[in-house]
Structure 1
Amino acid sequence: MATYIMLMKLTEQGIKDIKNAPQRIEQGSKAVEAMGGKLLGFYSVMGDYDYVAIGETPSEEVMMTFLLGLGSLGNIRTTTLRAFNREEFATMVKKLP
């Protein structure tokens, strides 16, 4: 499966409804699992972003569908990065001319 790092910022709506954030996070985890993915880690962070999540999905299309659904709820905005582990990176480097 492909690994992704999701950087998330709360919207005005999301911060106003912060008390329900734990339930929304659990719902998001269940939603990605229902699509064949997995939430590997979720963190509330300080700085430019409010949350960082690490997850896996079987394809880019599945991740995009998940993110569109998540964004349509209006509580967060995401920046998503495709991540490669050490083994994947080493394989790519070996293919260099």
Structure 2
Amino acid sequence: MTTYILLINWTDQGIRNVRDSAKRLDAAKKLLTSVGGSINQFYLTMGGHDMVAVCEAPDDAVMAHFTLSLAMGGNVRTETLKAFPEAAYRDLIGSLG
């Protein structure tokens, strides 16, 4: 499984309906699980992004499908970061000439 970091911001619509946000998170978890992935960690954050999620998915296409589905709801905008675990980081750095 590949790890992804989602940086999430509410849209105007999403913040107007913020009381429903926890239900939308539950639905997002269910959606990602249904396509073979998972939301492993979720944080409400202060600063440049409203929320951060650490997710896993089988591949980039699954994550793209998931984030596009979220965007279609109109409540959030996401920025997706593909994350490399420490072991992969060490291998990459070690392979440099």
TM class by shorter chain equals over 0.9
1:82 maps to amino acid: K
* Counterpart in the other structure of 1:49: 49
Inter-partner Cα distance in structure 1 for 2:8 and 2:65? 16
* TM-score normalised according to structure 2 size: 0.96
* Counterpart in the other structure of 2:71: 71
Which runs of 5 or more structure 2 residues have no equivalent in the other structure? none
Which runs of 5 or more structure 1 residues have no equivalent in the other structure? none
* TM-score normalised according to structure 1 size: 0.96
Residues 51-79 of structure 1, C-alpha deviation per residue, up to 9 Å, x if partnerless?
00000000000000000000010000011
Q: Once superposed, which parts of structure 1, at least 4 consecutive aligned residues long, lie more than 6 Å away? A: none
Residues 15-70 of structure 1, C-alpha deviation per residue, up to 9 Å, x if partnerless?
01001000000110111011100111000111111100000000000000000000
Inter-partner Cα distance in structure 2 for 1:79 and 1:32? 16
* Counterpart in the other structure of 2:86: 86
